[in-house]
Homo-oligomer: A and B are copies of this chain.
């Protein structure tokens, strides 16, 4: 049995949706409890917020209104994360979730860029911005809703792989449109590899990229 490219990316989408929702619910500290309704709303917004914002800016219907599986999967993952907290907090599973979250962000970034590109929206730069919006928009909403420092103010290497890979992808689409599928595969892989390296070695942004001391 072979799996085609779109089925493959669909599976990664769903895994990314699970990881976004689960890590959002797990990230709620014990000092600020959350109940089941709050957890579902937080998980849903985290998992679908970036793509929703992208679709609003593009002026197209929200992706989840045309495939409610995203809603069901994010809801189920949020409930599981709340009640299976000790299970998901297990060192190996939580570590796995971080990597799946990174894989999801890598995929969503390229998907967002491709959607904007296909619509001819603000070429050539806007697709990169909308890829980034898709990948990190939900995470920023999660941080704001949970009252945490937004990921913009941390030095994690999270947005950078998405920006680099989306930029590369747009260059590829421009010069070698016939390699769209292969190119998107390689760009997702590159973004994920960079993010995985950042998780594995606990890398943060290099000193020259951080505001110099006055």
Residues of chain A touching chain B, judged by Cβ–Cβ distance below 8 Å, are 28, 30, 32-39, 41-42, 44, 52, 56-57, 59, 61-62, 64-66, 68, 71-72, 82-83, 85-86, 89, 121-122, 125-126, 129, 132, 140, 144-147, 149-150, 152-155, 159-160, 163, 205, 209-214
Contact = CB atoms under 8 A, between A and B. Distances in A.
A132 to B, nearest CB: 8
A164 B164 CA distance: 44
Contacts of A65: 121-122, 126
Question: How many copies of this kind of chain does the complex include?
Answer: 3
B33 A68 contact: no
A89 B214 CA distance: 9
A203 to B, nearest CB: 12
Contact of A152 (B68, B132, B145): B145
Contacts of A132: 41
Residue with the highest number of chain B CB atoms closer than 10 Å, among A57, A86, A146, A163: A57
12 contacts: A28-B153, A28-B211, A30-B213, A34-B211, A36-B205, A38-B153, A59-B61, A65-B121, A66-B122, A85-B214, A145-B153, A147-B150
A213 B68 CA distance: 32
Q: Give the dominant DSSP class at A's interface.
A: helix
B211 A85 contact: yes
A132 B144 CA distance: 19
A153 B163 contact: no
B33 A211 contact: yes
A140 to B, nearest CB: 7
A125 B66 CA distance: 11
Given A32-B153, A38-B153, 19 more contacts: A28-B153, A34-B152, A34-B211, A35-B205, A35-B211, A36-B205, A36-B210, A37-B160, A37-B209, A38-B154, A41-B132, A42-B152, A57-B62, A64-B126, A71-B125, A82-B211, A145-B152, A145-B153, A146-B153
